[in-house]
Amino acid sequence: MSVATDVRSLPWGKGVRVVTCDSNGLIAIEKPVGSLSHPNSKKDGGKALLEAPYDEERQAYRIASDEGDPSKDRWVYLLNRLDSATSGLVLLTIDAAVRKEALRAFEEKRVTKVYSALVFGFTRKGANVWKDRLSVKRVEGGVRASTGGGLSAETRLMGSRQVPGTPAMSYLTLMPITGRTHQLRIQCAKRGTPIVGDRTYGDFTKNKQLSKLKGIKRLCLHCVETRLDYSLSGKTIRFSATSKGPF
């Protein structure tokens, strides 16, 4: 059985699509909106990327062996996450050595991620790199980010395209340079272009109106591209995955 065939036969969750897999077992999947990168509790069963138990310490899903022998169980390691409301590319691997090197690439900022966002309004002329400071606090039901204080957050605005008609909307192409909690959502909102469907930082009145007008109820943020270089057995491997996106 090839690596690709083996990967596609894993017990993927509802709506999860394998985009690509290299010969070393590095996987890019497309996560649907509402799906969890990993379950947070037992009640999250059926909502995660894989229909399998998740080990928080290992940060991996455990795939039971067909023989019922725990010593032969396999692991699918989660390499990065997306919020439940955000869709798009997520990386995993079935190989522990690849996991180590891919995580090193994340730590050394050798990973590029690109997002597509549908926002209300139009971007104004200005710097192509958005710079803010974001702080995060825990609130009931999750976390909340806010500007001012905290850690530096930077995002490169790679493109902007106006959507014809009303209400005024645009498609933004965004490349986060840092990876802060809710970074893209709060940075878009701060610049007067809140992401469509954002129930935390968005324009609640416009969200409601657009939902009635066009039936759009989701957060319109999607990871469309991920690229990284990682080393294995003395060789550098370049990995890339793209996703068209749902909007």
Task: Write down the CATH number for the domain with range 115-222.
Answer: 3.30.2350.10
Q: pTM value? A: 0.94
pLDDT for 40: 84
Would strands 74-78 and 169-176 be described as parallel, antiparallel, or unpaired? unpaired
Is there a contact between 219 and 33 (Cβ–Cβ < 8 Å)?
yes
Per residue in 134-180, pLDDT (tens digit) is: 998 887 767 888 888 889 999 999 999 999 999 999 999 999 999 99
The CATH number of 3-108 is 3.30.70
Residue 54 has pLDDT above 70, yes or no: yes
Report helix, strand or coil for 162. Answer: strand
CB 102 within 8 A of CB 236: no
Give, as one character, the DSSP assignment of residue 194.
P
Main-chain dihedrals φ then ψ at residue 87, nearest 5 degrees: -110, 170
Instruction: Strands of 151-206 (E only): list them.
Output: 151-163, 169-176
The Cβ-side half-sphere exposure at 153, using a 13 Å CA radius, reads 24
3-state SS, residue 246: coil
Q: Is the pLDDT of residue 21 over 80?
A: yes
**Per-residue pLDDT tens for 172-214?**
999 999 999 999 999 999 999 999 999 999 999 999 999 999 9
Rounded-to-integer distance, Cα 105 and Cα 240, Å: 13
Domain positions in the chain:
3-108, 115-222
Q: Where are the alpha helices (H) located in the chain, listed in sequence order?
A: 3-8, 96-107, 183-190, 204-214
